[in-house]
Amino acid sequence: MNKLNKTLLLALAAAFLFIGCGEDEEPDPDPDPVGVMGLPASINGFDTWLKMNAETIPLKEEVPHKGTKEVYVNQTRETLAPNGEQVFPYPDGTIIVKAGTGEGLDFLSFVAIMTKKAGAVEEANDWIFVKYARESADADFMKVGEGPPGGEGCIGCHMAAAETDYSFTVLE
């Protein structure tokens, strides 16, 4: 490669780098990339977060997430209950994770996530709901439900917990 071609190549590469660093770049189209086992990266390590329930939540036939459950939140006890008693609504940026073992199973089989994002969904007090499930202990999770919009699915049920900001599990 002659000297002129090398110079042109370097100038072209520098121009691409300069253009690629512009301030008006489009935001990342996937703000929550896939993390461990097919779950969103934003919940990696959720089982180290503050556990909301004191005891494992037992199987209840009348609920849509059939199985035993643990519920975690990415906030501190001091943030949620500054005077020892939980206050509502949850702050923007809160993520609540319900992790469960389905009826008759011996592995984590479903994960339901509530994410509070200001301006997201007015009728759900800005909560975004997503549920993941898997059929075996060595399988990745797959998204099996999300909501709102609409009155069906997640929000249709969680509207009954409007008094506690759409979460059935409160800090114990």
Q: Is 117 buried (19+), middle (13-18) or exposed (0-12) by CB count in 10 A?
A: middle
Task: Decide: 95 and 43 in contact? Cβ < 8 Å.
Answer: yes
Task: Decide: 142 and 134 in contact? Cβ < 8 Å.
Answer: yes
What is the pTM assigned to this prediction? 0.78
The pLDDT value recorded for residue 79 is: 97
* Domain 44-164 CATH superfamily: Cytochrome P460 (3.50.70.20)
For the chain of 172 residues, list the mean pLDDT of each consecutive stretch of 10.
46 42 43 76 96 93 81 98 96 97 94 94 90 95 79 78 95 95
- The structural domains of the chain, with segments of one domain joined by +, span 44-164
